[in-house]
Chains A and B, each alone.
Chain A
Amino acid sequence: MPIVMDHRVEDRFLAAYERYQSMNGTSGPLSDLSQKAIERFAEVGFPTRKNESWKYTNITPVINRTYQIADPETTTVDGIEGLDAYRAVFVNGLFAPEHSILDGLPSGAVVESLHGASEDDLIQTHVGTYADYHQEPFTALNTAFLKDGVVIRVSSGVKLDRPVHIIHVITADQPILVQPRTLIHAGEGASIQVVYSTELKGSTSALINAVTEIHVSKEAQVEFSDLQIGTPTTSRVTNLSVYQQNQSKFQSDVFTFGGEITRNNLSIHADAEHCESLLHGLFMAREKSHIDNSTFVDHAKPNCMSSEYYKGILDEDAVGVFHGQVLVREDAQLINAYQTNRSILLTDTARMFSKPALEIYADDVKCSHGATTGQLDKEGLFYLRSRGIHEKDARRLMLTSFAGDIIEKSPIQALHEVIYGHVDRMLS
């Protein structure tokens, strides 16, 4: 007699958790955290569109599918052409030293697997500290299944000469759930650039639930570039949580192309004075692709600056969401917080939801937000065509320029050409 499963979808994940943990799952100092996280997940469950912050993004169809958690297979790694970087490769979420290139890291810089990391103290102090599993069910799920991940530690005063490229290779012939985990700790005055990308091998569907925590110590600088090239059967939820100390500088450059459903949560906790936080994003989608960027900047202390600039190009039936939340706490005087979101809809059926949410409790602050969504500028198009440029080239020129504004904010030159290439492919 068949067993009818009419449990809620969360129960399937809870059952999978039990099996996972009985088979060599989370170990060592993180077991306790994992246990707490699954308990929290069991309480809150997956978000639905009834949650205010998921109003425009319906993740339920993606969650309802069945996924496997699979061990890595033998695979290849493409990397990013022209990018000269240290390389940490993970296959299906597990560290793959044979594909990683970590020779030549300066002393004081360590890139290693979370599993068996050299400093338990660092792990225990920081993992799960910034990515709040109480608030965010996907973070809870990721934390519950914690097994491996990457730890990047840059000691005080060490400035990396090249970026560190984290590559997640996903390879499977069955629908797969992968939950990458990253911890970046930049010590006082340290400086590091990180490029984060995903490579999908095979045509199966995938759900990626990534959590990245970044600690930016006093006077440190961290730049984080996230390049995601989706497929129509890949969905991705990311939670990037950044904690900033005195006079630190953080910049993110998030490039998202396609994918079934993408939800990028980015949260900045500026917990000291004179922090600078720059959040840039470019998203491009067509067909029925859905890309949601939700940012949260928490200004807890005075004299800080944050600037958000997101741009999107949506074609066919694609949907974009930008939800920009800024909190300026009562004591956080003299804050400058800016937010801009511009989107171009190329069809009548593409949609964009742009929702700024500024909560300001201090009285001496400068905060602004602006959102525009529109069609490609007709006058501009006419002007270009009036100079002999074919219509499709004129459209491409205008859209490439529109995107270029964000692309060129990335300090990593090698990424520019690669991303322009992806923009071009999306436009053709």
Chain B
Amino acid sequence: MKSILNIQGLKASVEGMPILNGVNLSINAGEVHAIMGPNGSGKSTLASVLAGNEDYEIDGGTVDYLGTDLLDMDVDERAREGVFLAFQYPVELPGVSTMNFLKQAVNSVREHQGLEPLKAAALLRLAREKAALIELDARLKQRSVNQGFSGGEKKRNEIFQLAMLEPTLAILDETDSGLDIDALRSVSNGVNQLRTPDRGFLVITHYQRLLDYLVPDFVHVMVNGKLVRSGGRELALELEEHGYDWIQDHLPE
């Protein structure tokens, strides 16, 4: 199977404080990996580091993405190469129109792929299709990016952008946080429709309930900046039953 991402011994810190302490993870095309773990274990840091957030210092390890060194690329370069991060806290951009933003994003990626830029009409059509797919209120496209959106609307807008940009590697950082059960279900449905044989997903979540709807192929548990257990879907259920203390108490020495 085609490897999308291969992380070896990744270490990262912020302001001198180590957060990732040697992460190993491999994602193949078509796979959905979930990373669970207690607050502060480093899950979101891993997502940020993979996306290219420069607030984090890389202290060691390698990240191979489709045969190239991911860590050597800037954030926008990674995005054009097909890495997408659905933010835990999407940023509000007052004044930046959603359609203008999408046009620039989609066409930056297309240009990179050697494709013609989409004209306004084609872009609108694409946006309409994708918005319907993830049940995004079409009126939100008329507004400034994320401005005044509810928590649920913001998360849905992230998945909408995912659908528009069609990345190779999609990283979902706590997309479930702040969602009620209906929103969780419909956002998960949207994501499920975006699961394709050539796309990999890394789903970061604190709670297993997301995984009821978005069923992963693999589940990893992160504690203190390391993936300490890996398994199938059943690992998430075990965690649900026993809590994170159980994992911490049963760490192999």
Q: Which residues of A does B touch, CB under 8 Å?
A: 377, 379-380, 382-391, 393-394, 397-398, 401-402, 404-405
Contacts and interface: CB of A to CB of B under 8 A. Distances in A.
Nearest to A392: B76
Given A387-B165, A388-B76, A405 B95 contact: yes
B74 A385 contact: yes
A405 B147 CA distance: 14
Contacts of B85: 386
Contacts, number: 74
26 contacts: A380-B93, A382-B91, A383-B91, A383-B93, A384-B96, A384-B101, A385-B74, A385-B75, A385-B79, A386-B52, A386-B75, A386-B84, A387-B105, A388-B80, A388-B108, A388-B109, A388-B112, A389-B76, A389-B79, A390-B108, A391-B76, A394-B76, A397-B100, A397-B101, A397-B104, A401-B93
Contacts of A405: 94-95
A281 to B, nearest CB: 16
Contacts of B91: 377, 379-380, 382-383
Given A387-B161, A389-B76, A401 B97 contact: yes
Interface string B87-127: 10011011111001100110011001000000000000000
Contacts of B74: 385, 391
A405 B165 CA distance: 28
A401 B96 CA distance: 5
A388 B102 CA distance: 10
Interface in B25-65: 51-53
B95 A390 contact: no
Interface string B129-169: 00000000000000010000000000000000100010000
B187 to A, nearest CB: 19
Contact of A398 (B75, B96, B108): B96
Nearest to A387: B105
Contacts of B165: 387-388
Contacts of A380: 91, 93, 96
Given A388-B76, A388-B79, A397-B96, A383 B104 contact: no
A383 B108 contact: no
Point out which of A382, A393, A398, A404 has the most chain B C-beta atoms below 10 A from its C-beta. A382
Nearest to B78: A386
By CB atoms of chain A within 10 A, which of B76, B101, B144 has the most? B76
A323 to B, nearest CB: 25
A382 B85 CA distance: 11
A389 B75 CA distance: 9
Contacts of A389: 76, 79, 101, 104-105, 108
A393 B87 contact: no
Contacts of B90: 383
A391 B52 CA distance: 13
Contacts of B80: 388
Contacts of B109: 388
Contacts of B84: 386-387
Nearest to A390: B76
Nearest to A402: B95
Contacts of B53: 382
Nearest to B82: A388
Given A393-B108, A397-B104, A386 B93 contact: no
Given A384-B101, A386-B85, 4 more contacts: A380-B93, A389-B108, A397-B100, A401-B95
Nearest to A405: B95
A388 B80 CA distance: 5
Contacts of A393: 104, 108
Contact of A382 (B75, B112, B161): B75
Contacts of B104: 384, 389, 393, 397
B12 to A, nearest CB: 16
A386 B144 CA distance: 17
A388 B103 CA distance: 11
A75 B85 CA distance: 57
